[in-house]
Structure 1
Amino acid sequence: MNQPKRYLITAALPYANGLKHIGHLAGAYLPADIYVRYLRAQQRDVVFVCGSDEHGTAIPIQAMKEGTTAQAIIDKYHPIIQQNFADLGISFDIYHRTSAPIHHETAREFFDVLNKNGDLETRETEQYYDEQAQTFLADRYIKGTCPNCGNPGAYGDQCEKCGTSLSPDELINPVSTLSGNAPVKKATTHWYLPLNRHEEFLRGWILKEHGEDWRPSVVGQCKSWIDGGLQPRAVTRDLDWGIKVPVEGADGKVLYVWFDAPIGYISATKQWALDNGKNWEPYWNDEETKLVHFIGKDNIVFHCIIFPAMLKLHGNILPENVPANEFLNLEGDKMSTSRGWSIEMEDYINDWIKPENGGGAMADALRYYLTSIAPESKDSDFTWKGFQQAYTSELVSVFANFVNRAFVLMHKLCGGKVPVFHNDLIDDQDKQLIEEIKATKEKIETAIEQYRFREAQFEVIDLARKANKYMQDKEPWILAKSLAEKPELQKQIDNCLHLCLQLTANLAIFANPFLPFTVQKMLHMMKVVDKMLSWDNAGSLKLLSVGYTLRAPELLFRKIEDSEIAAQIEKLHARLAKAQAALAATSGGAAPAAAPAEKADKSAKPEAAAKAEIQYDDFAKLDLRTGTILSAEKVEKADKLLKLQVDLGTETRTIVSGIAMHYQPDQIVGKQVVVVTNLASRKMRGIESQGMILMAEDASGKLHFVNPEEKINPGAGVS
C-alpha cells in the first residue's frame, strides 16, 4: 500500500465513571501516542481522537454509589481523566465527550440511516422489570446469589467475588437494586444489528485481507467469533440515561452504549474539524485515509466485527489495522480497580510527577517502563521493583549517562562549543558509530510502522549503549591529560565529542515518541527548537552547528530511592486490604482472599519429587529472556559458584550460578543462555545475583545449558 494521504488514529473511549489505571494507559493510549508522535515527526497529516464514554449503565451505577446524578458523575470524571492523560504526555488532537450535542446528533443520524435502509431488525423479548420503579432493569441493576460461589451480592453480569461472568437468569433469588423487590419478566421490543448477514464479508475482510498483517491474537479472536456463528445484537436498551432512540414510539429506550460509543470517534472528528476550520469527511469517507484503532483485547470484537459492519453499512471507510494489546497485570495478579489491585494514573501523577519529585521526567519513566514491558503479544506484568530497575539500569545508567557525559566533556574539553570534525582523522570506530546512527533510524521506522513499539524503544536505548561504549573506547579525558605535550590530540578529542553531540541530537529525535518531556529538556540544553525533531533530520550529522555554544548539562533523571518503591508496594497492599474488607462487608462477611504476594504458603514443601500442576497463567508470570555471557569468574571460597556478567540486550546483569563444578570460566564466555529475569535478586557470598540461568541435568548429574538452537539477539523473549 502506498503512503496514505492522511491518518485517523483512535484510542478506545474510557468510561467516565471513575479513575483509570496504568493498565488502561499501557493497553491503548500510550502505544497510540507513540505512533502519532512518530507520524507527526514524519510531517504526515494525522488526527488523534479520543474522549470520554459517558453513557451505559456504568455511569448511573457509579452515581448510585456516590449518591449523586449521572450527569454529575461524568462532569466529575471527564476533566480528571483528560488531565491525567495530558500529564502523562498523551497528545490527543481532541479529547471529546459522548454527552456533547454533536455526538447525540451524529449517533442518532447513524442509527436512522441503518434503520431506514433496512439494516436493523426489531425483536420482542422478555426482560426483567421492576414494578415499583416502573423500569426495565439492566444487568447491573439486578443482584442475587451467585450459582458458582454462593456470594449473595453477585450482579446480573458478573460475580465480583469469584469473577464468574453471569446473566440475570442465572442468579438465585434475583432482586432489583432500585427497590429491593424481586423483578418480573415483561415483554419489550428492541432494534438489533443482524451480524449474521455479514459473516461472509467479515470472514473475507478479516481473515483474507488482514490475516497476515494484523496481530495473531486479534485475528484469532475474530475467527473464533465468526466460526461460532454471528448472532443479531441489540442496539437499543430500556434505560433513562443515554441517547434517545430516534423512532416514534420508542419512549424510554436509548442506544446501547456499545453502538453509540464507537460513533464517538466520528463525532470527535467532527468537533475537531469545527474547532480547526477543517473538513471532517475525508477522514471517514476517503479511501486514501488510514484508520487505525488502538484498543485492549477486551475490545477486539467491538472494533473488528461490530463497528466495521456498522461502518460498511453507513458508507464509511474501514480500519486498516487494530493493534490490540493484551492485558497488563500488576505484581503477578490481574489489575482491577474494584478489587483495589491497581495503580491509578491519578495516584501515579500525585506521587511522582510533582515538580519536586521529578516532573515530566517521571512521566517519561512510566512511559518508558510500560513500553519496555508492553503486552503486545501476551499479558505482561508491572512490578515496582521492575520499574525501578529498568529506570535505573537503562534510562539513568545508559541513556541519561551518555547525554550527561557528552555535555560535561564538551564543556570541559571543547570550551562549551560544538567542536569541528576533522575528516582527515576519521577512523573505523567513527565510521561504525555513524553507520549505527543511520541503521537505528531504519530499525525504528520499521518497528513503529509495524506497531512493534517495544522493539522500537529498545533500539533507542541500544544506540545510547553503543554510544557509551564508543566514548569509553575513545577516552577523550585520558587524551586530554597529554595535550600539553601533544596538542595534536585535541583533534581526536574534537572528533569524538563532535560525533557524541550529533548522536545526542539524533537520540532526541529517536526518543521523542517515547520520552517527550525528556526530549524537551534535551532541546533546551542543545539550544534548538522543536523543528529539529522532524524525522527528515534523523541520521544527520549536521544537527548541531560547529562552534555553537550549548548550555550546561542538566540531569535528565533523578535517583529513585528504595524507600519510595517500598512505600508504593505498601500502599498497594493497603488498598487491596481496604477493598477486600468492603467486598466482604457486602458479601455476607466472607473472609477476603490473600494478597497476590501472600497467596503461597512459603513453608509448604512438596511431598513427592514431581511438582504440583500449574496453570498457564502461573507460567506466564516468568520473564524468560536470552542472554550472552560476557565474562565469568570463580567466586572466592565457593567451589560451586561462578560470577557471570550476562548481556540481556537492554542491560548487563550480574548472575551468580552454581555451575563451577561443571564448567571452567573460559569455556562459557560468549555462550548464549536462557535467563529468568524477574526473579527477586538475592545475595550469594556477598554478591547480589540478579537472575537465574536455566540448566538441564542429565542422568549422571552433569549440567547442560538451555540455549537457542541458533544465535539470537540478547534480550529476546522466550515463551
Structure 2
Amino acid sequence: MAPSEPPILVTCGLPYANGPCHIGHLRTYVPADIYVRGQKKMGYHPLFICGSDSHGTPIVVNAEERGTTPEELVSLYHDHFDDVFSRMGVEFDYFGNTDDPSNHRRTRSIVEALMDEGHVYEKDIQLAYCPSCDRSLPDRYVEGTCPYCSSPARGDECDQGCGRHLEPGEISDPVCKVCGSKAGYRTQKHYFFRLSAFSDFLIDYLQNLGGTANARNYALEWVKQELKDWCITRNLDWGVKFPGNEDLVVYVWVDAPIGYISFTEEWALRAEGDWERYWRKPSRIVHFIGGDIVYHHCIFWPAMLKGAGYTLPTAVVASGMLKIDNKTFSKSRGYVLWVIDDYLERGLHPDLLRYYLASYTSHTKELNFSWKIFAEKVNGELVGALGNFVNRAVTFTAKNFEGTVPVGNLDPEVTAKIEAAVVEVKAALAECEFKKLADGAMALADYGNVYFQANEPWKLAKVDRVRCAAVLKNCLQIGKALSILFQPVMPDKMESAWRQLGLSGAAAEALFDDALVPVEEGRRLGVPEHIFDKMDDSMVSDLEEIFKNRVAGLEGKKVEGGEEKMTPIKFEDFKRLDIRIASVKEAETIKGSEKLLRLIVDIGSEERQIVAGIAKSYRPEDLVGRNIVVLTNLEPARLFGVESRGMLLAGELDGSAVLLAPERETPPGTKIR
C-alpha cells in the first residue's frame, strides 16, 4: 500500500465471553480472516482487530449461577476464544478484552466527549424492580412481552419477535428472571444519548456505506422510522463506570464497539504504531458482523463516533443466518456445532471447515451445515478436484523428470485461464462474495484436471518427452496459481501444496498476481503426498450419530446465557428413566478420540458396552472395579464407530467430569428411585 493511501482496519464483532465457540461465531470470523489475507495478496497491509465482549447483564447472571465472579468467567471464555481462533487459522493482529483498563479509559473519554457536545442528557425513567430480590432488573434480569409486537421478549431486545431494541422500562408484564416473581417499576435517574438528533446524518451516511446490502438496507429501514433516544446507563456493578455517576455503568453496547478503538491503541503500544491514523484520520474501517447486530453497528455506533469526533466505518459486512441439518440453529435443542468438541477434537482439519463456510453459499444468504454435505464437499471438491490435480501434477513430474520442474513454454490458453481466475477472485474479494472466490479458484482446478487428462502426459512420456515436459510445467503453473488463490481460504493446506510444488518462500507471502509468474525450471519439487484425506462413510455416520444423540438427549432443555437449564418435567417422566448402579468390568481408550472411553459395565441383569467422554478426567485402569451410576434405557448410539447402550451420569467441576457413585458398596443393578 502506498503511504498516501488510507490505512485499512478490519474488525470482527466481539465474541461474548459467556459461552463456548460454535459454528455461528465462525460464520463471521473465518470470512473476515479470508478478507484480510486476500487484502494482503492485493499488496495492502490491513490491521485485523478483535477481542472479548466482557460486560453486560448476561455475564453477571451466568457468574452468579455458577458461583464465580464475572472476572473469572470472562477470563475463562476469553482464553477459550483466543485458543479456538488460533487453531482455526484466524490470525488477529490484536485480540483484546473490553474489561482491560484501556477500554475503560477510552469509553469514559468518548462518553465525556458526547456529554461536552450536548449529546447526552439525564432523565427519570421507570425501571423494572423485583421486590422479592430487592434489586433493579436491567436487561437480561427481566423478561416479559414486547410492547410493539406482543411476542415474548427479554429486557433489552425482542429476540423472538420483531427484533427491536428495547429501552429500559419498555418491556410489558415484567417478570424477574432470578426468582420468577412479578416485577414492578421504580423511578430512577439514567442517561440518554440523543440518537434522534442523528437521523438526517445516518440516512446520508448509510446511503454511501460500503459492505453488504443486507446491513445497509436493514439500518436504513429503521432510521427512516422514528429513532428514539438511547439509554446508555445500567444499574450494575460490573462494567465501565459512568463519568460523574459511578453508581451506574455504561451500557454494554456503548463500551463493546469502543473496544475496536482501545484494541487498536493496545496494538499500537506493542507495535509502535499510531492508533489515531485509523480512528482520527481518513481510513478504511471494515466491520464484519453477524446479521443480528446490524442495528448496533449501523445506527448506534456511527452516531456515537460522529458525535465524539472519530473516523466513521466505511463498510459493514453482515453474514446471513445459519441452520444445522436444515433445522433452525438452536443450542437448547442441540442444533449446533461446537467448534472444539464437535469438530477439532474429532481430528478434522480447520481448513476443511473454513472451505465449507466460504464455499457453501453467498455470505449474506442462509448457510446450512450437515455432516453429509460437508463430506460431499470434502470428497468431491477438495479431494477429487483440487487435491487430485496437485497430487497428479507433482507425482507424475517427480517420477518422469527426476523430481525437478521441467523445461517448457507456458500454453497461452493456460495463462489466460489463470489470469481469468485471478481477476474473478479479486472481484469476489472486493464484493465480499467468498463463494465466488472459492468457486472461481475451484473452476481452475477443474480446468487443470481436464487439461491433464486431455494431454495424456503418461503417453507423451513415452513418445514425446519435450511435449510431456511442457504439459507438466503448465500443470505445475496451475498448481502454483491454485496455492495462491486458495491460500486465504485454506492457509495451512495451501502451504503444504506450495512445498510439494518446490516453490520458494511461502504461499502466504505471494501476491495474487504472482500466480502468473512462471515456475522456475530446474527447481527441485517437494515430496508428493495427498493434501486432503477422504472422509469414509463410517466416519460420516459416526459424526451424524453423535449429533443425533445430542439432539435426542437435549429434548426438554433450554440454554440461557450460555448455560443449559432444564425445564420442569412431570414425575411420570422421571419414572420412565431406568437409572441403576453399575460396576465397571473393562475400560479402554478409543483410537482417534482424546475424550472417549469404551466401558463394559455390569448393570445386574447383563453387561453393557457404554462410550463415555471422560478420558480427560479418568484413566481406564482407575475405573475398573468402581461402582458408577448409569442410565440404561437410552436409545443406542454409535460414537467413533463404537456402539453405546447407555449413559453414565457425572457432574462437571472446573471442566472435568466427576462420576456419580453410591456412598457405600451397592450391588450392580440396584435401581435409583
What TM-score do you get using the length of structure 2 for normalisation?
Answer: 0.78
Letter in 2 for 1:219: R
Of 442, 447, 456, which residue of structure 2 is paired with 1:475?
456
Letter in 2 for 1:563: S
Q: Which is worse superposed, 134-143 or 122-131? A: 134-143
Per the alignment, residue 461 of structure 1 pairs with 442
Three-state SS of the structure 1 residue aligned to 2:549 is helix
Of 347, 352, 366, which residue of structure 2 is paired with 1:365?
352
Distance 1:330 1:460, change over 3 A: same
* Residue-by-residue CA offset, 1:16-59 (whole Å, 9 max, x unaligned): 00012112211x21111011001122331210000000001121
Per the alignment, residue 394 of structure 1 pairs with 381
Q: Distance in 1 between matches of 2:253 and 2:358?
A: 29
Per the alignment, residue 404 of structure 2 pairs with 417
Of 425, 430, 447, which residue of structure 2 is paired with 1:449?
430
Of 536, 540, 543, which residue of structure 1 is paired with 2:516?
540
Deviation at 1:539, TM superposition (A): 3.2
Per the alignment, residue 616 of structure 1 pairs with none
Q: Distance in 2 between matches of 1:55 and 1:365?
A: 33
Deviation at 1:225, TM superposition (A): 0.2
Per the alignment, residue 229 of structure 2 pairs with 232
More strand by share: 2
Per the alignment, residue 391 of structure 2 pairs with 404
Deviation at 1:548, TM superposition (A): 1.1
Aligned pairs for 1:436-585 (under 5 A) are 436-480=417-461, 482-483=462-463, 489-527=464-502, 528-530=504-506, 533-535=509-511, 537-542=513-518, 544-583=519-558
Q: Distance in 2 between matches of 1:90 and 1:578?
A: 32
Consecutive unaligned residues of structure 2, counting only runs of 5 or more, are 560-564, 572-673
Deviation at 1:144, TM superposition (A): 6.8
Q: Distance in 1 between matches of 2:231 and 2:157?
A: 20
Distance 1:564 1:159, change over 3 A: farther
Q: Determine if the alignment matches structure 1 residue 290 to structure 2 residue 266.
A: no
Q: Distance in 2 between matches of 1:58 and 1:189?
A: 22
Letter in 2 for 1:198: F
Q: Distance in 2 between matches of 1:416 and 1:166?
A: 63
Deviation at 1:535, TM superposition (A): 1.1
Letter in 2 for 1:418: V
Q: Distance in 2 between matches of 1:510 and 1:141?
A: 48
Of 247, 257, 264, which residue of structure 1 is paired with 2:259?
264
* Residue-by-residue CA offset, 1:192-236 (whole Å, 9 max, x unaligned): 1111111111111212x24xx543322221121012111101111
Distance 1:175 1:451, change over 3 A: closer
Say if 1:129 and 1:185, in contact at 8 Å, map to a contact too: yes
Letter in 2 for 1:260: D
* Residue-by-residue CA offset, 1:543-579 (whole Å, 9 max, x unaligned): x321111122111011112222222222223323333
Letter in 1 for 2:25: H
Three-state SS of the structure 1 residue aligned to 2:89 is coil
Q: Distance in 2 between matches of 1:535 and 1:10?
A: 22
Letter in 2 for 1:222: A
Distance 1:383 1:411, change over 3 A: same
What TM-score do you get using the length of structure 1 for normalisation?
Answer: 0.73
Q: Distance in 1 between matches of 2:547 and 2:276?
A: 46
Letter in 1 for 2:415: I
Aligned pairs for 1:683-698 (under 5 A) are none
Deviation at 1:313, TM superposition (A): 1.3
Distance 1:270 1:157, change over 3 A: closer
Letter in 2 for 1:58: P
Distance 1:89 1:540, change over 3 A: same
Q: Determine if the alignment matches structure 1 residue 216 to structure 2 residue 213.
A: yes
Per the alignment, residue 241 of structure 1 pairs with 238
Per the alignment, residue 648 of structure 2 pairs with none
Distance 1:165 1:264, change over 3 A: closer
Q: Determine if the alignment matches structure 1 residue 435 to structure 2 residue 416.
A: yes
Q: Distance in 2 between matches of 1:158 and 1:216?
A: 23
Three-state SS of the structure 1 residue aligned to 2:445 is helix
* Residue-by-residue CA offset, 1:354-401 (whole Å, 9 max, x unaligned): xxx35xxx2111011111124523222112111111111101100000
Q: Which is worse superposed, 12-21 or 523-532? A: 523-532
Letter in 2 for 1:254: V
Q: Determine if the alignment matches structure 1 residue 277 to structure 2 residue 272.
A: yes
Aligned pairs for 1:167-186 (under 5 A) are 175-178=175-178, 181-186=181-186
Per the alignment, residue 315 of structure 2 pairs with 321
Deviation at 1:338, TM superposition (A): 3.4
Aligned pairs for 1:98-247 (under 5 A) are 98-131=98-131, 133-142=133-142, 156=155, 175-178=175-178, 181-207=181-207, 209-210=208-209, 214-247=211-244
Q: Determine if the alignment matches structure 1 residue 61 to structure 2 residue 56.
A: no
Q: Distance in 1 between matches of 2:372 and 2:316?
A: 32
Letter in 1 for 2:18: N
Letter in 1 for 2:219: C
Three-state SS of the structure 1 residue aligned to 2:316 is coil
Q: Distance in 2 between matches of 1:304 and 1:163?
A: 18
Q: Distance in 2 between matches of 1:533 and 1:590?
A: 62
Per the alignment, residue 695 of structure 1 pairs with none
RMSD: 2.9
